[in-house]
Structure 1
Amino acid sequence: MDETDHQAEGRGVEDAAADVAPTGVAIVDVAIIGAGPVGLFAAFQCRMLRLSCLLIDALAETGGQCAALYPEKPIYDIPGLPEIEAGALIGNLERQLMPFAVPRRLSRRVTGLSGEAGDFTLTTDAGDTIRARTVLIAAGAGAFGPNRPPLPGIEDFERGGTVQYLVRQRESLRGCAVAIAGGGDSAVDWALALAGVAERIWLIHRRDRFRAAPESLRRLDEAVEAGLVERVVPFQLQALAGENGILSGVTVASLDGEQRILPANRLLAFFGLSTDLGPIAGWGLETGLHGVIPVDPATLRTSLPGVFAVGDVASYPGKLKLILQGFSEAAMAAHAIHAVAKPDQALRFEHSTTSGLPIS
């Protein structure tokens, strides 16, 4: 038995029977691909409707980008939580899901999908076989990796750890001279988060204006006025200096040829993520630009019957790529999935305050 199957212990007989058939093949109502924040909440919503489910993720831990890329990044738009770090949000979602002990398969990519609605078979690169009545894709933007600036010799500094594309712990940059490159929320948020931690911060962008939330820009103006952050605009990265993977300076240049050398010993580059749906793109699903999957906004159904998509990977008119919208989609999808996974069982809508946790 896979070590993640032990999380199924302690559930009711109905749930346990849905997890593993005598042949060792997992059988569930819903196979959820992606264990980021939206995938975790989708599992909770499915279990609230008494749908058995299993989480699959290519990463070694749950949480998706929140855990892998920016666990200490503050998030301000989760209802009821004025401010919460991304890692803490994942912890809360795991605690919410804990009573159901949903099994998961981590460090695995789904490589194959066959069958039809009501009887799908999924396979993974670790040799797993999963039978599922429905499939819910909550894979964020798919497999992801950072967009790297095209600078000579940058690989040496990446290996040396002085050029980074994510920050797991602010304290690792305490006392450092940090150059942050990028013009979006990530660059601005980390400039603010490191103010008072790093010895010096330069925020580099090729334009005068940053594409960040208004409140973040207001706080950035305050940090600049207080001398905690220096805006370096309009400049872009040109070269790196240092030896043996240890950064000693960052050269930036403007479009008119002006150059500056910033005595930084760390470079944080935030130019977005390159994403790839991987094998999912070959399942016959209708896909759009940038690897998104068009869905029905009322049910989150994809073009393939029995397969649904939520979160950043799902696309429809008016879509906002916010975690809170992904949470709403997860709840809507769970209700639509119930009709496919259990077509003979009527579903009566109940609020959690009256239904409680449906644990046998």
Structure 2
Amino acid sequence: MPSEAQHHVAVEADVAVIGAGPAGLFAVFECGMLRMKCVVIDTLEAIGGQCAALYPEKPIFDIPAHPAIAGAALIERLAEQAAPFAPIYLLGRRVDALAEQPDGSFRLQTSKGEVVRARAVIVAAGAGAFGPNRPPLNDLDAFEATGAVRYMVSRREELRGKRVVIAGGGDSAVDWALSLKDIAARVTVVHRRPKFRAAPETVAQMEAAAERGEIDLAIPYQLHGLEGKDGVLDHVVLATLKGEERRVPADHLLAFFGLSMELGPIADWGLGLERSHIAVAPATCMTNIAGIHAVGDIATYPGKLKLILQGFSEAAMAAHAIHPRIFPGEALHFEYSTSKGVPA
């Protein structure tokens, strides 16, 4: 598992990577291959960005050498690839402030109080900071704190034998209902109307599973309340628009109401923005501020393609462009990984 730094401490690294999605994780590898140490900061509680939050079970078809790979599996492989370089992960917090220091380094302040000092920054924040749309339920914070209410699933096995209520009508809700039906004690899907916004094929599979009694469908219901004590969930209370209530025994509520996305504090850092994206130089992915680079979906330049594989390429270019900043005066002789291996 990725190691996390303690709260309210100073963290030193060569490169601060903002965003733990595919491009950010591959940036850790590319920096590591050039002997640069990384700290990775992300607003979500787990690595993976949108891959993990939105489509962990969905196959991705345009990753080289993988005719098809699920989003969660891709993140696992990227984390494994980055692991030899021991990145520091600061998860579940955003970067509230970024300021250049007199010596040319950068000081980053997180929402949980850490101060990060780095010689360079790679912004790999996807569409910006994003978090879940939370249902308006009483005592929600207490159940979130214990993990009884979740907005993403990092480990499927944690829900084995549990009574799970899934709320939502999109791909995430349907995908997880199908994924958990064979290991959870009970899966109940709550949606306000019979029509789902997910892929028709997976909706058909869910409906067939419901007919076989493998999944319970609570339609047309909405979340109305949570019952339990000290953050331990006992029941999820549902209600129709007519006020008819239903209590469903539950250990966990998975609420999939989409993500709210915004640039957040990034918009105040003085970077050259173009329609909520950061403009960069194509050859180096450097922004208008020397030492700050942007890769992945948040970066823009003429001819940009919003593909994961392009984010990988940008991560490599940014790492090589940063190297002279970390090792001034040291010549960088390009070597293939087949020749140099993975540095210790």
Name the count of aligned residue pairs: 325
| Selected match of 1:295 from 269, 279, 286 | 279
Equivalents in 2 of 1:258, 1:359: separation in Å? 63
Q: Normalized against structure 1, the TM-score is what?
A: 0.67
2:19 pairs with 1:34: yes
| Long gaps (5+) in structure 2 | none
Q: State the 1:271 CA deviation.
A: 1.4
Shift of 1:194: 0.7
Inter-CA distance 102–172: structure 2 relative to 1 (3 Å threshold): closer
**Alpha-carbon distance between aligned partners in 2 of 1:218 and 1:303, rounded to the nearest angstrom:** 49
Aligned-pair identity (%): 42
Instruction: Check the 8 A contact 2:165/2:236 in 1, yes or no.
Output: no
What is the match of residue 76 of structure 1? 59
Q: What displacement does 1:284 show?
A: 0.9
Change in Cα spacing, 1:237 to 1:120, as seen in structure 2 (3 Å) is same
Alpha carbons of structure 1 residues 151 and 126: separation in structure 2 relative to 1, 3 Å: closer
1:253 aligns with 2:240: yes
User: What are the within-5 Å matches in structure 2 for residues 51-62 of structure 1?
Assistant: 52-57=36-41
Aligned to 1:104: 88
Task: Map 1:112-151 to 2 at 5 A.
Answer: 112-114=98-100, 119-124=104-109, 125-130=113-118, 132=119, 134-140=120-126, 143-151=129-137
| Residue identity matched to 2:240 | A
Distance 1:40 1:174, change over 3 A: closer
Structure 1 range deviating more: 337-346 or 306-315 = 337-346
Name the CA shift for 1:27/1:247 in 2 (closer, same or farther; >3 Å). closer
Partner of 1:357: 341
Residue ranges of structure 1 left out of the alignment (5+ in a row)? 6-23
C-alpha distance in 2, partners of 1:211/1:298? 37
Deviation of 1:193 after TM superposition, in Å, equals 1.2
C-alpha contact 2:209 2:215 (8 A) present in aligned 1: yes
**Aligned partners of 1:276, 1:357: CA distance in 2, in Å?**
39
**What does the per-residue CA deviation read over 1:229-267, in whole Å, with 9 as the maximum and x for residues that have no partner?**
34445x35241263435332432325xx48462524242
Within a 5 Å distance, the mapping from 1:302-341 to structure 2 comes to: 302-314=287-299, 320=306, 323-324=308-309, 326-334=311-319
Per the alignment, do residues 113 and 157 of structure 1 end up closer, same or farther by CA in structure 2, a change over 3 Å counting?
A: closer
Native 8 Å contact 1:32 1:55 kept in 2? yes
Write the distance in 2 (CA, Å) between the matches of 1:4 and 1:190.
27
Report the equivalent of 1:15: none
The Cα RMSD (Å) is: 4.6
Mapped partners of 2:107, 2:59: distance in 1: 37
Deviations 1:110-141 (Å, cap 9, x if unpaired)? 5332169x9343344434433x2x42112345
State the SS of the aligned residue for 1:191: helix
Contact 2:51 2:71 in 1 (8 A): no
SS at match of 2:137: coil
**TM-score, scaled relative to structure 2:** 0.69
Task: Tell me if the contact between 1:26 and 1:129 (Cα under 8 Å) persists in the aligned partners.
Answer: yes
Q: 1:240–1:251: 8 Å Cα contact kept in structure 2?
A: yes
Give the conservation status (yes or no) of the 8 Å contact 2:223–2:236: no
Which AA in structure 2 matches 1:357?
A: G
